[in-house]
Amino acid sequence: MTIQLGQLAPNFQQDSSQGRIDLYDYLGQSWGILFSHPKDFTPVCTTELAAVARLAGEWDKRNVKPIGLSVDSTENHAGWAKDIEETQGATVNFPVIADKDRTVSTLYGMIHPEADPSVTVRSVFIIDPNKKVRLSITYPPSTGRNFNEILRVIDSLQLTDSTKVATPANWQPGEHVIIVPSLSDEDAKARFPQGWKTLRPYLRVVDLGAKAEAAE
């Protein structure tokens, strides 16, 4: 199955390191990141689970719940968690799905038969509070995932969902953004009284911080 951006994330019920999980119930009105691992006790993924655990405060600030997934058992997950704590100095503080029957892996297209039909590829899905998939990325086995980039994407999605803007290449929170082309100049004046810079009729950049300062 191919997961398309904007479609409803398929719901599932599966065992995890924190008990039985129903995805929709677990997420509630939160955002979620679902990220898969080929199997337990793999080196790159060991560092990734630790990286996600260390970002607990950042996920909380953005109302995001991370969920890991591996095709191994909950017993293996427990042993792996001990290794992660001992080698990385981080406690896994989020559920890791035990997808032994590969139900979730198949549902989300995490198994690539051309690579290895027995293990998941390393996928990431961002799911919004409406249960829609907003981003999907698949990484090669040799490259650790950049979870700071995942945070950046979530910041962009949350901003652009609430404001008629888009974020440019390499954008970081607090930097200039782009007024969406569908918004007329007349409507933009009401939304952005601080003004903007028009580089081209289709490319208008605005400083949202200046709006906040003007309001003060």
Q: What are phi and psi of 150, to 5 degrees?
A: -60, -40
Q: How far is CA 139 from the centre of its chain?
A: 14
Torsional sign, CA 77, 79, 82, 83: negative
pLDDT in tens, the chain (216 residues): 678 999 999 999 999 988 999 999 999 999 999 998 776 667 888 899 999 999 999 999 999 999 999 887 667 778 788 888 889 899 999 999 988 888 898 899 887 666 555 555 689 999 999 999 999 998 887 888 999 999 999 999 999 999 999 999 999 999 999 999 999 999 999 999 999 999 999 999 999 986 544 444
Amino acid at site 57: G
Encoded tokens for 151 = 């945070």
Give the containing element (helix H, strand E) for 63.
none
How many alpha carbons lie under 13 Å from residue 91 in its C-beta half-sphere? Answer: 1
Tell me which DSSP letter residue 98 carries.
E
* pLDDT tens string 22-65: 999 999 999 999 998 776 667 888 899 999 999 999 999 999 99
3-state secondary structure of 35: strand
Strands 165-166 and 177-179, bridge-based pairing: antiparallel
pTM beyond 0.85: yes
Domains belonging to the chain, first-starting first, are 13-144 (3.40.30.10), 163-215 (3.30.1020.10)
- Where in the sequence numbering do the catalytic residues fall? 45
Strands 197-200 and 203-206, bridge-based pairing: antiparallel
Could you identify the residue written with the tokens 């690539």?
112
Encoded tokens for 196 = 């903007």
Encoded tokens for 103 = 């139900």
Could you identify the residue written with the tokens 């337990």?
40
